[in-house]
Structure 1
């Protein structure tokens, strides 16, 4: 059939709107999305005809493409994925998974009016920070606390309050860059603080700080380099020494502890990571840390420390621009609640559970998923093997967690082809490739996703 005939054969939008399948989709999908999908479908077929990619088509072909397109348009852009990478706090995949308590709190806050800034006791305007300040103080031992939208904002707000147009003295070895080209010096510049670098990349001494004190010194800033380690010939100033120097010269000491560790991981066989509680106990005036890394909650920047400084920070006009919303507060409160009992935190906060659960448990889970896959797709080569998971999120960079993985391959597809098909599944499955095999790390895969994974391989094959 020639192009002119094919173009004449294309139906009009009004005609397609009368089709039963289109009417059915209109019941569950917004009309503008349906109309857009119909127009784009006709445009796609028209372009294919003009580019001589089509020799003929039937109306059913058009309707089938419409169904695919309208479903795609109706699917949220931010969607669930299955993390088979073994990276627990995966920045690209949304970092920490919320606990059930946190999720329920978010639903309650979202579906109802709430007392976000209303004091029920006094019947007057209240502070949104009061909902979590008490529990942060109880867990960390801080005199006061507040929360903003992320840790970069927390650092900027603290420095803007305590060090605007003044000097912040920081060790050269702590001027780190983390994901997305985020650099500590840049945050300091935006805050209005003047950066004073002291020491060298690998060695900084107490006298480096003391020799650079001037009448313009606003704070001593200590940054925990959680996303990298300098090994070998190194030296850094301890918290105790820096605090003593700060008190001697009446200079507040601020620590960006980054990942927000609230339990001592060394008790569980991991390399020691400094905790928020310990920093405050040693005399740090203000500590900032993330909510969605090792803490295992929503994205947030938590500021805790001496009341005199926190009260000043709360009054900073930037606070309004950086404040968190009701859903974040609800999720954070639901997460922090578990830290009142460390055992409950480890069991109920998914991030902690994934880090600390035994490899033998994941070996049993790997066996269950393997059996499901072998029954559904017998000709796929599936093997269980040992491997290592990573904490991720810029936390514990040298720590490897023993785990069990499934190694999968099939003669019909290369590992790269199989990875792409899994990634483009209706529920995307994100896997690793090693030695021409697909690797699925059970430590970051939930039992509830076993059927989805099995169905995906079944459809692919």
Structure 2
């Protein structure tokens, strides 16, 4: 969760942060060489490390707007120079992930063209939206997006390639970091989410499009530059990624103490799979307001405001439930969370009685 600093770093990553911080490097060469390493790990033709996934979106779009015209890199937002271009995004994907995705598209110099509706879109509608002004299509792979009645990446890829339109995939928090480069012409990852590296982002994909974006590192990308320490930390996180990735079985095992909460009147616990299809399971705490004498929103707020602040995935708290993600907590943390929920609901029962 970005609001909590995203993820914690391993000792190996911290050591490499220190190595990068304590030494000098020729930065342009370091950026190029590190991009080659990232591309290797992601099965992509080329890559750039950025300071965030949001920066990667903006740089990807900027490259598609200016292509090989280096004059336009300097004049990207100058109204005296023609830099017209539109990025198509499905309405159900035009989300706010902490910032509006459309802001990053516009930062890159493009206009946003929504297609479809918030509850449905079709490949035919995507086809109909493409014009001579279209420079790319952004597909956002996220639990924040509408999941139902939306074309798959494969369906969108077919439409884009049939029309010669680059497909950008925002896969910021995805755990499968190896397959997306074959699905999209450009793919965006957060370096600090599933990869558990320092604050950073990755733009990877076809060399042609990465080459378009690279000059913008001396344009709008100057405000998004990544430090040498973060480069070394991210490379180490990627090197260790497969060995540190938690299996679903391991996640499920960590969640077991939560099931004790089902013994409390008004509380039930289930294990649910990630809504966006990732290899993640979460403990879902369902609160029956009448029986528990507490609404799920109240429980969530009391968890946050306790002596030890506990943040949950509370997107659906108003519907009566919230989730616990086991990946970022220890077994002792799960026990603490369980005890705290017992206290909150127990106090509510005492008040009622």
State the TM-score, normalizing by the size of structure 1: 0.53
Aligned to 2:209: 309
What's the CA shift for 1:166?
0.4
- Contact 2:175 2:279 survives alignment (8 Å): no
1:241 aligns with 2:155: yes
Of the three residues 185, 190, 196, the one matched with 1:296 is 196
Distance 1:213 1:362 in 2: 46
Q: Secondary structure of 2:139's partner?
A: strand
Distance 2:137 2:145 in 1: 21
Aligned to 1:27: none
Of the three residues 55, 59, 62, the one matched with 1:153 is 55
Aligned to 1:401: 282
- Give ranges in structure 1 of 5+ residues lacking alignment: 1-89, 118-124, 263-275, 347-351, 368-384, 405-414, 435-439, 454-461
1:141 aligns with 2:43: yes
Of the three residues 149, 170, 180, the one matched with 1:279 is 180
Instruction: Report Cα offsets for 1:203-249 as digits up to 9, x if no partner.
Output: 22222122222221111221223224444xx232x333333333333
Instruction: Report Cα offsets for 1:159-181 as digits up to 9, x if no partner.
Output: 122135201122112111123xx
Closer, same or farther: CA 172–446 of 1 in aligned 2, 3 Å = closer
Of the three residues 357, 364, 371, the one matched with 2:250 is 357
Aligned to 1:187: 104
Distance 1:362 1:211 in 2: 46
Closer, same or farther: CA 260–444 of 1 in aligned 2, 3 Å = closer
1:203 aligns with 2:159: no
What's the CA shift for 1:129?
4.0
What's the CA shift for 1:315?
0.8
1:258 aligns with 2:158: no
- Give ranges in structure 2 of 5+ residues lacking alignment: 66-82, 261-266, 286-298, 318-323, 338-353
Aligned to 2:96: 177
State the TM-score, normalizing by the size of structure 2: 0.68
Aligned to 2:25: 115
What's the CA shift for 1:388?
6.4
Instruction: Report Cα offsets for 1:374-413 as digits up to 9, x if no partner.
Output: xxxxxxxxxxx99568999x97799652499xxxxxxxxx
1:324 aligns with 2:218: no
Q: Secondary structure of 2:155's partner?
A: helix
Aligned to 1:96: 7
Instruction: Report Cα offsets for 1:264-318 as digits up to 9, x if no partner.
Output: xxxxxxxxxxxx4323223x11011211222222221210000011011011122
- Contact 1:386 1:402 survives alignment (8 Å): no
- Contact 2:254 2:331 survives alignment (8 Å): no
Distance 1:312 1:320 in 2: 15
